[in-house]
Structure 1
Amino acid sequence: MPKVGVQEERRRQLIEATLEVVGELGLQSATIGAISRTAGMSSGLISHYFGGKQALIEATLRQLLEELKIALLAHTKAASLTPQQRLVAIVEANFSDFQRSTATTGTWLSFWARAIHEPGLARLQHINNRRLYSNLCYSFRQLLPAEVARDAAKQTSALIDGFWLRSALWPDQEQGFRESEALCKAFINDTLKQHGVEPCH
C-alpha cells in the first residue's frame, strides 16, 4: 500500500477509535492512551498524524459532519425530487442509522457540551447549524414566501436538533428517534398545508 494510503488509513482508524471512546466514556475521559489502545496504535501516532488530542477531536467532529453530509446527498441525489420530498429527505438524513448509533449519539452529546468552552468545536457546530438551516430554507423557499420560508427553516432545524437530543437521552432510543423523525415530518407537512401548499405524501 502506498505511504499516503497508509497515513490516511491510520488517520481513519484513530478517528473511529475516538468516536468509540468518546461515545462510551465521554470527551473528558477520552485520553490519548484510551484512544490509542482502542485503535491498537502507539500514543505517539496521535501527535504524528494530528498534532495532538484537540486536533484529533476536531477531526472526529468534522468526520461526523461529513457523514451527515454524505447521508443528505444520498437521500436527495434524485433529480426528480420535489421540494416537499427534499424536505422530508433532510429529516431522514439527520435521523439516519449512523446518526442514531450509540457511538455517534454519545459523541455528539459530548461535543455539544464541550462546544460552550471550546471555540474550535463551537465553530464546527455553527457550520453544522448553518448547513441544516440553509438546506431547509432552499427547499422551503421554492414553496413559500421568503420570510415564511426562513421562519419555517428555523423552526424545523430547531425541531430536528431538539427532538434528536431528546431521543438520544431517551431510555428507548430507537423508539424515540422513530417518533421524533415522524414528528418533524408532520411539522413540515402541517406548515405547508397551513399555507395552501400540497404536503409530501
Structure 2
Amino acid sequence: MPKVGMQPVRQKQIIAAAIDTIHELGIEQSSIRQIGMRAGISPSLITHYFGSRDELYTLVLRHLNRELSRATVEGLRQANTPMERLLAIAAAQFDPAQFQPAVASTWFALWAGLSGNAEMMRFQTIYERRLASNIAHCLRALVPAKQVEFGVNCLLAMIDGLWVKAAQPTSRITTTNAFPIFRDYVVQLVAQLSRREDGK
C-alpha cells in the first residue's frame, strides 16, 4: 500500500513522466514500463494508481484540461472589462506552464486518440464547450449578436493553429511569440466584427 499523503505527489510524477515519454517516443511507442522508468516508479505502482495505459492517458488529458481551466480562472479574476476578460482567456491558452513543446505533442497525440476513447472524448468535449462559452460571453458585449458564433469559431481555430505551429521545430511560430500574435488577432477581429452591421 502507498504511504498516506504520497498519492498526489506520485500522480504528478507519473503524469509528468507520461507527457515527456509521449513527447519523445510518440503515444504508440510509449508503455507503462517506459513511463515508470522515467518517473523512477515501478510499473506495478503506476497500475495501482491509474489502472491501464488508456486510463492513465485519460487522466493526463484531464490534468491538462484542468491546468488550462485553472489558468483561465486566475486570469479572469483580474479582468474587469469584456475585452480584458477575452484577453485573459486568450492568455490562459498560451500559459507558459502548458504552452511548451512536450505538452503540445501530448495534446496532439491524445487528440488523435479521442474517437477511440469515450472517456477522453467526454473530458475534451466538456473543456471545449466551456472555452467556447467563455469566449462567446465576452464577445456578446463587444460585437453584434449575429457575429458572435463566427468570432468564436475564428478564435478557436486560431488557438489550435498556433498550438500546431508552435509544436513544429522548424516553425517561425514559437511558444514565445504565439501569444502576442493571438492577442493582436483578438483586437483586430473584435474591431472588424464590431463595425459590421448586425447580421451581415
Q: Is the pair's TM-score, using the shorter chain for normalization, greater than 0.5?
A: yes
The amino acid that maps onto 1:75 is G
1:182 aligns with 2:157: no
Partner of 1:12: 12
The whole-number CA distance in structure 2 between the counterparts of 1:128 and 1:169 is 24
- List runs of 5+ in structure 2 lacking aligned partners: none
Cα 1:105–1:114 shift into 2, 3 Å: same
TM-score, normalised relative to structure 1: 0.86
Is 1:46–1:53's contact at 8 Å kept on the other side of the alignment? no
Displacement after TM superposition at 1:3 (Å): 4.2
The whole-number CA distance in structure 1 between the counterparts of 2:169 and 2:116 is 25
The whole-number CA distance in structure 2 between the counterparts of 1:51 and 1:131 is 28
TM-score, normalised relative to structure 2: 0.86
Partner of 1:105: 104
The whole-number CA distance in structure 1 between the counterparts of 2:125 and 2:118 is 10
Partner of 1:66: 66
The whole-number CA distance in structure 1 between the counterparts of 2:92 and 2:86 is 10
Bigger CA drift: 187-196 or 154-163? 187-196
Partner of 1:49: 49
The whole-number CA distance in structure 2 between the counterparts of 1:24 and 1:191 is 37
The amino acid that maps onto 1:149 is V
Q: After superposition, what is the alpha-carbon deviation per residue over 1:164-196, rounded to whole angstroms, capped at 9, x for unaligned?
A: 2122125157x4344443332233222322314
The amino acid that maps onto 1:106 is S
The whole-number CA distance in structure 2 between the counterparts of 1:126 and 1:98 is 22
Bigger CA drift: 30-39 or 93-102? 93-102
The amino acid that maps onto 2:123 is L
The amino acid that maps onto 2:138 is S
Cα 1:172–1:151 shift into 2, 3 Å: closer
Instruction: Give the 5 Å matches for 1:153-168.
Output: 153-168=152-167
1:28 aligns with 2:4: no
Q: Percent identity?
A: 32
Aligned to 2:170, the other structure's residue is in SS state coil
Q: After superposition, what is the alpha-carbon deviation per residue over 1:57-110, rounded to whole angstroms, capped at 9, x for unaligned?
A: 1111111111111111222211x5211111112111111212222321121121
- List runs of 5+ in structure 1 lacking aligned partners: none
